[in-house]
Amino acid sequence: MAAAGPLTPDIAHHAALDERMVRVARDIRVLALLSWPVGTEAAFLAAYAAGTARPPVIEYPKSDFSAARAELEAIVCEADPQHPLGQYLIDAARSWKNAALMCESAGTERMLAYSKELYGAPNEALPGNGPTAREAAQHFISIADELDPGLLAPSESIHISATALRLQLQNDLDDYFNARVIEVELDPDLIAKAAAGATRIRLRASAAFSQYDRGQLLNHEAFVHSITALNGREQPVLPSLSLSSPRTTATQEGLATFAEQITGSIDIGRMKRISLRIEAVARALDGADFIDVFRFFLDAGQTPQESFSSAQRIFRGVPTTGGHAFTKDTVYLRGLVGVHTFFRWALRSGNLPLCRHLFAGKMTLADVQRFEPLFEAGVLLAPRWLPPWLTRINGLAGMLAFSLFANRIRLDAIADEGGVLLDF
């Protein structure tokens, strides 16, 4: 696919800069460079069972991205900050430069500052000057803990093996694409329960999944992370939209979690897992070491294997002795609130098409607004693939319209007035 008509000089200039950025950014693979050696989990769990566990000491590969950083800085200098593509390239190149510096500092105390700059911290306010991410996390944990287990349907307690879920997801995706476009694979070394690229979704082989997980993984991993990467590959002018840049993480994870929410695929257990990670990041920053955080997840009801994987997420790339954390998990709630607010704003302002453009590649909420005239001109292409829930725009508009209205009803005011819902 090609953009409409020949490129103007300004577009061609920034397209060339984008090609240069893609060449250097592809090697800055944050999660891969921060992964832990195979066997760390087994050794730790054996020592913990024997009462001799110590926080793991991880040796990370030494990275030198000095040449890449110099190229990224050159791109910043050559991009036009008054042009929508230029501002995008400046923001993206600086983000990749910080990601490179973060990877170079893996295992040291310097890592934390770069992590906060890229992903934020749990004590930062959510969009709209609301509560902090940590306060929101504690809210969801409290509700989950108060929920009566007897309300759960029997099917919600059934565990599905990774092998069975792989087959189910593969069938779902083959039906959606009417071809084998995305391969679902098992990965014994994956830290997260699942991870998605453009053409591959990996499931942790040892993980147990619930009935909700099928819908969650389909809508979160495939219909957001994979589809935005696939659509980004279709962009002839801006191929960097296919890359998972750290600056787009909050929007990507927020959009993916919003997709779970809008399709009814999310459950309170999932909200609790997300929230526990945010609380764990906060505790690690407050001084908790790896064992403290591991026990925190154990006490929250996770298995030893799940607790290790959860604690490992918190300490990727940073010292495990306390006072430091890899803060990426704080973006989930901030991103969810931001994306939900964006969708409601788009409905109220009569601009729902922008929500579709958000799937044309991996971008931030600011990017998609900045790019609006470029989509209209055909410089950037509309997404080839969209999640099923976004193609049913009337249903989406109905849910968002109700959300806009319901936000005007204050539950605290009802409580103060002694109101009872049955009186309505």
Q: What is the pLDDT of residues 164-179, one digit of tens each?
A: 999 999 999 999 999 9
Does 123 have pLDDT greater than 50? Answer: yes
The highest-confidence range among 151-160, 225-234, 340-349, by mean pLDDT, is 225-234
Q: How far apart are CA 298 and CA 82, in angstroms?
A: 51
User: What are phi and psi for residue 337, nearest 5 degrees?
Assistant: -65, -40
Q: How far apart are CA 245 and CA 240, in angstroms?
A: 9
Looking at residue 423, its pLDDT comes to: 45
Looking at residue 241, its pLDDT comes to: 97
- Read off the pLDDT of each residue in 125-129 and give the average, rounded to a whole number: 85
Q: Partners of 200 in the beta sheet?
A: 183
Q: How far apart are CA 231 and CA 175, in angstroms?
A: 18
Residue 304 corresponds to which tokens in the numbers above? 């030893």
| Percentage of the chain lying above the pLDDT 90 cut | 73
Residue 417 corresponds to which tokens in the numbers above? 């007035």
Give, as one character, the DSSP assignment of residue 240. Answer: G
Does 201 have pLDDT greater than 90? Answer: yes
Q: How far apart are CA 41 and CA 125, in angstroms?
A: 34
Radius of gyration for the chain, computed over Cα atoms and rounded to the nearest angstrom: 22
Does 160 have pLDDT greater than 90? Answer: no
| pLDDT class of 128 with cuts at 50, 70, 90 | confident
Looking at residue 230, its pLDDT comes to: 97
Residue 299 in contact with residue 96, Cβ under 8 Å?
Answer: no
Does 204 have pLDDT greater than 60? Answer: yes
23 conformational bin, left if phi > 0, alpha if psi -120 to 50, beta if neither: alpha
Does 151 have pLDDT greater than 60? Answer: no
Give, as one character, the DSSP assignment of residue 125. Answer: B
Q: How far apart are CA 216 and CA 96, in angstroms?
A: 29
Does 4 have pLDDT greater than 70? Answer: no
Mean pLDDT of the chain: 90
Residue 272 corresponds to which tokens in the numbers above? 């609790």
| pLDDT class of 189 with cuts at 50, 70, 90 | confident
- Read off the pLDDT of each residue in 233-238 and give the average, rounded to a whole number: 95
Element (H, E) at 186: strand 183-187
Which of 120, 106, 88, 160 is closest to 282 using CA atoms?
120
Q: What is the pLDDT of residues 335-385, one digit of tens each?
A: 999 999 998 888 888 888 889 999 999 999 999 999 999 999 999 999 999
- Read off the pLDDT of each residue in 84-90 and give the average, rounded to a whole number: 97
| Percentage of the chain lying above the pLDDT 70 cut | 92
Q: How far is CA 68 from the centre of its chain?
A: 25
Is the C-alpha dihedral spanning 397, 399, 400, 406 positive or negative?
positive
- Read off the pLDDT of each residue in 191-215 and give the average, rounded to a whole number: 87
**DSSP-assigned states of every residue in 59-81:** -PPP---HHHHHHHHHHHHHS-T
Q: Rounded to the nearest 10 degrees, how much is the dihedral formed by the CA atoms of 294, 297, 299, 303? A: -90
Q: What is the pLDDT of residues 133-143, one digit of tens each?
A: 999 999 999 99
Does 421 have pLDDT greater than 90? Answer: no
